Amino acid sequence: QVQLVESGGGSMQTGGSGLLSCTTPRVSRYPFNVACMAWFRQAPGKEREGIASIYSFVDQTYYSDSVKGRFTISVDSEKNTLDLQMTDLTPEDTAMYYCAAGPGHYCFLTPSTDLSWEHWGQGTQVTVSS
């Protein structure tokens, strides 16, 4: 079982920036660069939504309309980490953020919880205040 651990959440300001990371705590046989890695978020009372995904082996990325142009997803193959650079934050970005890993072909689909993602992190809370 691959364990994913998110970090970087916290209290942030409207218009500010933040960096979320997803790692594995020990050597894993699950290289992020040949998997579909995704970020989801879930706000209170709302469904979990996929906001970004990356299949870095073929340079495939996806962004939801809600974050396109503001968030950037990336994989550091050497460190085997998944990052989400967030800019121009708004209170609507307040949510629990989760990373997920699945087979590469998932990245040619809209990231959704309807897909059987193989691994999930426990989440990191992002709270954006006005």
Q: Using one digit for the tens of pLDDT, what is the confidence trace for 5-43? A: 999 999 999 999 999 999 987 666 678 988 999 999 999
CA distances from 110 to 50, 52, 63, 67, 77 (A): 8, 9, 9, 14, 23
What is the bridge-based pairing of β-strands 5-7 and 18-23? antiparallel
CB 41 within 8 A of CB 47: no
Task: Write out the two tokens for 119.
Answer: 């691994």
pLDDT digit string, tens, across residues 66-108: 999 999 999 998 888 999 999 999 999 999 999 999 999 999 9
Q: Which two structure tokens, joined as six digits, stand for 32? A: 């992020």
